[in-house]
Amino acid sequence: MRLALVEAGRAAEGGDVPVGAVVLSPDGTTVLATGHNEREATGDPTAHAEVLAVRRAAAALGEWRLTGCTLVVTLEPCTMCAGALVQSRVDRVVYGARDEKAGAAGSLWDVVRDRRLNHRPEVVEGVLADDCARLLTDFFRTR
């Protein structure tokens, strides 16, 4: 999560909402890819940290299936990102701060664990939650 927080800081430096993500290999020790929000930098509404990290991890593996991989992200994924995580077959989603307004991994919705879907990653929430939330709060206080 600390590496994801560093990524989130990069997003904030670029004027974007400070969310950072890291994809770990199945062994849990190798970083396959990182990402941070780049919507403002690229003008791409899909340039969320999770989507970028998943795309880069798939490119690193040479395969779209991220079976066995873990995504670590500073903020609970939204519905778009939750859908991407299900589609990429990530095995585990670890997040810091809950997103009561748009979260789709247990807060507002629970897309990633919807029993109607063919893949349901394990979800671990609240890792360094205070640090993750503080970064977001500080960012929005200056807006």
User: 81 a known binding residue?
Assistant: yes
Closest CA to 17 of 99, 94, 127: 99
Give the integer Cα–Cα distance in Å for 63 and 60: 8
User: 48 a known binding residue?
Assistant: yes
Closest CA to 123 of 87, 78, 76: 76
Q: Exactly one of 7, 13, 40, 50 is catalytic; which is it?
A: 50
Q: With residue 42 as reference, give the H or E element that holds it.
A: helix 39-42
Q: Is 100 a catalytic residue?
A: no
For the chain, helix, strand, coil in percent to 5 are: 40, 20, 40
Binding site residue list for Zn(2+): 48, 78, 81
Please list the active-site residues: 50
